[in-house]
Structure 1
Amino acid sequence: MKIRTAIFSVYVGATLIGFAAVMALVLRDVRLRYVESMRRTLGDTAALMAGFAAPGAPGNDWAKRLAAMPAQPNLLRVFACDRTGRVLFDSAGRDVGRTYAWTMTGGGRVASENYTVTNVAEVGNELRVAAPVRREGALVGWVGVGRPLATVAEGISHARWQLVWSAGAIGLVMVVAGWWIAARLTRSLERLTAYVRNVRDGRGPAPPQSRATEIAELSRAFEEMRDALEGRQHVERYTQALAHEVKAPLAAIRGAAELLDEAMPVEQRQKFLGNIRSESARIHRIIDRLLELSSLEARKQLRQTETLSAGRVAAEAVDVVRPAGAARGIGLKLAAGGETTIRGEAVLLREALVNLLQNALEFSPAGGEVTLTVRPGPGRVEFVVEDRGPGVPDYALARVFERFYSLPRPGSEKKSTGLGLALVREIAHLHGGEATLTNRPDGGACATLWVPVS
């Protein structure tokens, strides 16, 4: 289960439990509010009628005054009882002569606000409220009113449904908000995961930033761990690589130097001296390239960026290698597809393109042609270098960007330092792009370097 789903499920579950408990209390309280409102109204009505009946005839004839009032049996029932609770008058004509249980109690949670009112009762789905009738301070009877609870049932039902629909709308908003919150909480983790995978694949983007303290600390911890591991591996990797690459030239120099101690013709001596010079130059190139690559890998971001014309950068790179191509009879062609600007370091981008062009020249036959195409794309610019050489063997396609991996050049069978394409990829990564190498369907290789547009 994804952490986003887990956070959302816990949030919805906890909210649902609390929301259900609150809604149960609120929906129950709707009836209490309606009944309590009706109780207060009936209480006022009963007190008014008790005051109306009190000045009546002596004995129990006072109750007859209530008969003068218009009857409304479907809405309100008026009754009068003597002090023992025997019904003397009933506007509905049903309970005359019956004795009501007295004193009337039983409001409780149903008829009032969680307390018992002694003159209120709910009997047979009817709410009754009575008021005492007194003469000269003495209790002579009771006047009461009763109203069917069914008269407020429709209002209670309507109010409850309104609450349910309102609660449903609020709940839907809370669910959407919960998903948004869960997504916000996990987005930083997803960005951190993407960052770790990019580091694993050799890309070096900056660690993601987050306003959440814990995520920011975790991001810094990953970056510190990366720096520590890369520092250790960097030393081991370059030490092993340098030792491996320098071993063969040093052996050649040592062998030539030993032979020079012997007497030999001048021509042979010049030959061995030439070998020493060439192998020394090879060691020098390896060290220079290693230092350059090490410097690029140590950088976390570009330094002196500027807005550049993609076509102009490509033209400058072609101008640099054009003499080498002319010396071998290889033509260089530039195809710039429109004016497009990019953001980056001009020196690094030009160096990357020069490396790609030199690599293409070395694998191109005499009389061939190398083409550099500037191809604008959605959100990026591609620099495509194509040659007409033998292409790259399938077994080498996945390794051509590795440090010190090199293929023999056609004709001479010599290998380069194997650091040129590694430099190209590192420069692409610094610019937020990528470098790839594939074979063309009609023969030759196709190297692509793409960077984002500015």
Structure 2
Amino acid sequence: MRIGLRLLLGFFLILGLALFVVLSVFVQEVKPGTRQAMEDSLVDAAYTLARIAAPDMKAGIIATGGFAQALSDLSEVNPQASIWGFRKERIDYRITVTDAQGMVRFDTRPEAIGQDFSRWNDVSRALRGEYGARSSPANPYAPDTATVMHVAAPIRDGDRIIGALSVSRPNDRLEPYIERSQQRILRWSWALLGLSLAIGLLFSWWIAHSLSRLRGYANAVARGDRVAMPVLGRLSGSTEFSELAQSLEQMRLRLEDKAYVESYVHTLTHELKSPLAAIRGAAELLQEDLPPDDRRRFAGHIHRQAERLRLLVDKLLELAHIEQMRGLAARETVDLSALTRELLQRMEPGLRIKALRVHDDLGQAVQVQGDAFLIGQGLQNLLDNAMDFSPPGGQIWLRLHRDGEYVEWSVRDEGPGIPDYALDRIFERFYSLPRGEGQDKGSGLGLCLVREVCDLHGGQLVIGNAIPPPGCEARWRLPI
């Protein structure tokens, strides 16, 4: 079974089951809910009329008094009302008054006068001061006939109950309203089900179509065919399918870009081979009988090359660790001004050796949220580059200021700047420019590390030649 059909069936099954449960519960609740609403209105009417009938009941004129006269022609009243499309042309209430023994003393339908109603649940409970209600057949001798709801309220003389007043209404008067409600619920439910089915069809087709195109693209790549990345259309937008297609395309480009892999391996091998060859040559010379000065010179050469190897390995480990991070585990407040000055203190010996002057325009307590250690690593690499490429006796300018929702940290030196041919390659691994007379070549990993740290913090890194020349300027923008 194809995935589109499985998705559609699963969607329709879940929707149909949910709709069936909701619809069943809703329809089943319509009739009880309507009757409960009617019972509530009967309670109000019964207790209101019981208060009105109380004076005539105390005076013993409940059958002939004002209460009886006001209700004598109740069955003949025509309200001429239109309720939800249904005409109402008579009053459906029946009002019965019994004395304290349950004998009927007044009835809007006189046939019950003189009968004993004390056995009925509504009257007997009302005479005991309790809430009394019942629903019973309109004809006690024909249980299958329509039912009538009765609600009784006690008639009081102070604290003494002297009678009960019952208000009753046939339940079948509610059937037109209940039936119309159920029909409308069912009609809208079928419409909703049809609309949901159409949406499900469209949604399933879209997923199946997108997956089918991605599968075809992946199969073509697996066969070694050179195919273009599938365009999933406007409906896909920037959804996960488009992102998956782009990821597959990037993976294909990386897998096919053998020249890049070969260049990476070749450069790494060269970077390791050069210091190892220098160490090996100096070690072989030290095995010979040399003057003390030459021995010290070659030993120092071995030490410098070993330090270069150590720095290269350390940088590789740092870069690998940062590249594997998918985000910052925790953020803290980082004072860029204080952190930069702390790094400058560590660099003071190197600055003194080259007689470099640092112009501090860092301000006070400029803060961002991030990883203090990683930001420090990034700043340290940028400061090291500025110091290494600066000529002896040169100047370095440091500036820190807020720019909208960002803080911009910048460093500028008076070095030779970046050659035009190298501007597009400064972030490549192991790509390094000559640093100055008497200095070893760098690892070519420092700016890669800075860029990775910048991306983790959602920042922006721009490095280029200073304007006006000479020199190079690095600007690092971090969100506040």
Superposition TM-score tier, normalisation by shorter sequence: 0.3 to 0.5
Q: TM-score, normalised by structure 2?
A: 0.45
